[in-house]
């Protein structure tokens, strides 16, 4: 069975500060990992994904995430927060099939 | 190009009534998915379509829930005799359907917010 835990349902950062959203997973098979972002009244948009290969994955809007097998983590980071980054972020894991297991989401607030 | 669309965006209904939620996937996408998102919870997988058939209905919570897809396009999720616990956001996603490969990114619609009074 697979599961995802996102630590912190709400995270606040100042504009220009580092963004760090935490995601830990559990999987009995090599995981495939995803981060999605959801802006108000919009669908989920894929930020980045890890399948195989390089463990540091770069996505859209300056976000990146690093797959750390030893820590079972896939934390999302961005060096400098922008007001437009305010949204809800979801981490998801898959065993390589269509069935994604999502975390409960982290709502990011960016303070001016 | 056009993304995944869902209608209605909001639906308020009385307990015991039936509701139909509609999803229009991205044109040409053969795979379609329904998820449910309850307040404060992650997305729950409900059902997966490949073309017009549903090889995986394992996430449907009860026999009050059903879904169909016609013409490898529009899908309808129907909830009969709605209950208050059915209140949630129902999200639809589609993907090209490349034999279930991981390059087959799922694209999500904006969801339908269902409130059962």
Sign of CA pseudo-dihedral A25, A17, A85, A54? negative
Residue B109: which of B94, B96, B87 has the closest Cα?
A: B94
Share of chain A above pLDDT 70, in %: 100
- Give residue-wise pLDDT tens across range A64-111: 999 999 999 999 999 999 999 999 999 999 887 778 889 999 999 999
Residue A51 has pLDDT above 90, yes or no: no
CA dihedral B97, B100, B101, B102 (to 10 degrees): 90
pLDDT band at B103 (very low <50, low <70, confident <90, very high): low
Share of chain B above pLDDT 90, in %: 67
Tokens standing for A35?
A: 């981060």
What are the helix and strand counts (H, E) for chain A?
0, 11
**Distance of alpha carbon B44 from alpha carbon B35, whole angstroms:** 5
A→B contacts (Cβ < 8 Å), by residue, are 4, 9, 32, 36, 41-46, 49, 51, 90, 92, 94, 96-105
**Distance of alpha carbon A5 from alpha carbon B112, whole angstroms:** 25
Q: Contact at 8 Å (CB) between B112 and B90?
A: yes
Interface of B with A in 16-45 (CB under 8 A): 31, 33, 35, 40-43, 45
**Distance of alpha carbon B27 from alpha carbon B19, whole angstroms:** 25
Average confidence (pLDDT) over A23-40: 91
More confident: A15 or B39: A15
More confident: A28 or B117: B117
- Give residue-wise pLDDT tens across range A20-31: 999 999 988 888
Report chain A residues whose CB lies below 8 A from the CB of B45.
99-101
Task: Quote the pLDDT of residue B7.
Answer: 96
Q: Contact at 8 Å (CB) between A58 and A75?
A: no
Tokens standing for B11?
A: 């639906």
- Give residue-wise pLDDT tens across range B1-55: 589 999 999 999 999 999 999 999 999 898 999 999 998 788 899 999 988 988 8
Mutation pick from B45, B106, B112, B113 vs chain A, by most beta carbons of A within 10 Å, is B106
Task: Quote the pLDDT of residue B101.
Answer: 53
In this complex, do B105 and A99 lie within 8 Å of one another by their Cβ atoms? no
Residue B95 has pLDDT above 70, yes or no: yes
- 3-state secondary structure (DSSP) of residue A68: strand
**Distance of alpha carbon B36 from alpha carbon A98, whole angstroms:** 16
- 3-state secondary structure (DSSP) of residue A5: strand
- Average pLDDT of chain B, as a whole number: 90
Task: Quote the pLDDT of residue A96.
Answer: 73
């Amino acid at each position: 069975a697979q599961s995802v835990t996102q630590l912190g349902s709400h995270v606040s950062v100042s504009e220009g500060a580092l963004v760090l959203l935490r995601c830990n997973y559990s999987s009995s098979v090599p995981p495939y990992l995803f981060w999605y972002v959801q802006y108000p009244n919009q669908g989920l948009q894929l930020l980045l994904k890890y399948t195989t290969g390089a463990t540091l994955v770069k996505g859209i809007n300056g976000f990146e995430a690093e797959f750390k097998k030893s820590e079972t983590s896939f934390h999302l980071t961005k060096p400098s927060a922008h007001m437009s980054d305010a949204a809800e972020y979801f981490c998801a894991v898959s065993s390589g099939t269509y069935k994604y297991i999502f975390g409960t989401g982290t709502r990011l607030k960016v303070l001016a | 190009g056009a993304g995944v669309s869902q209608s209605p965006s909001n639906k308020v209904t009385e307990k015991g009534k039936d509701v139909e939620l509609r999803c229009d996937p991205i044109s040409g996408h053969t795979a379609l998915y329904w998820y449910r998102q309850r307040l404060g919870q992650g997305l729950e997988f409900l059902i997966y379509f490949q073309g017009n058939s549903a090889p995986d209905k394992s996430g449907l919570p009860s026999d009050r829930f059903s879904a169909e897809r016609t013409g490898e396009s529009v899908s309808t999720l129907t909830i009969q005799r709605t209950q208050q616990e059915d209140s949630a956001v129902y999200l639809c996603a589609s993907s090209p359907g490349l034999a279930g490969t991981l390059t087959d990114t799922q694209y999500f619609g904006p969801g339908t917010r269902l409130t059962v009074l």
